[in-house]
């Protein structure tokens, strides 16, 4: 999937990935790839400004720890982040459900007529 398409949903994806447990940037990207079966490929660097923005907004918090011999910044969801994730996930499910219904429905006669006229 193209990175541009993911940009609008990156916050939700990051919140969702971190809802499964705290993690550092590289870990977050790895989880994102694994959970999407490799479908979500984006320049990995774009994750950092998004993580920082979410932290500034109070949806994430971070602390430093040494993991596998390297000092790393570990991010975790705050209560506000959990609430935002629940709200955004509900909105996404409603949107995707509506999209699925529209895309799954047979073409409306009016649309077919309009297509024929063009």
| CA proximity to 30, closest of 12, 45, 44, 46 | 44
| CA proximity to 59, closest of 79, 73, 32, 37 | 79
Residue 31 touches other proteins, criterion: CB under 8 A: no
Which stretch in 9-17, 69-77, 99-107, 109-117 sits in contact with other proteins by CB under 8 A? 69-77
* Sites for other proteins among residues 7-26 (CB under 8 A): 24-26
Among 4, 8, 37, 43, binds other proteins (CB under 8 A): 43
Nearer to other proteins by Cβ, of 56 and 103: the residue is 56
Reading the block at residue 54, the tokens are: 């979410």
* Minimum gap (Å) between residue 25 Cβ and other proteins: 5
Per-position DSSP letters for 18-61, written without gaps between them: HHTS-B-HHHHHHHHHHHTTT-----GGGHHHHHHHHHHTTSEE
* Sites for other proteins among residues 78-107 (CB under 8 A): none
Query: Which residues sit at the interface with other proteins, rule CB under 8 A?
Result: 24-26, 43-46, 48-49, 52-53, 70-73
């Amino acid at each position: 999937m193209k990175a541009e398409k993911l940009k609008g949903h990156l916050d939700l994806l990051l919140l969702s990935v971190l809802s499964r447990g705290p993690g550092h940037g590289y870990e977050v990207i790895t989880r994102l790839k694994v959970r999407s079966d490799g479908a979500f490929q984006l320049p990995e660097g774009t994750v950092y400004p998004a993580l920082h923005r979410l932290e500034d907004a109070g949806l994430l918090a971070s602390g430093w720890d040494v993991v596998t011999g390297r000092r790393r910044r570990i991010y975790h969801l705050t209560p506000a982040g959990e609430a935002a994730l629940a709200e955004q996930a509900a909105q996404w499910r409603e949107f995707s459900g509506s999209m699925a219904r529209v895309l799954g429905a047979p073409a409306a006669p009016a649309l077919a007529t309009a297509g024929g006229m063009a």
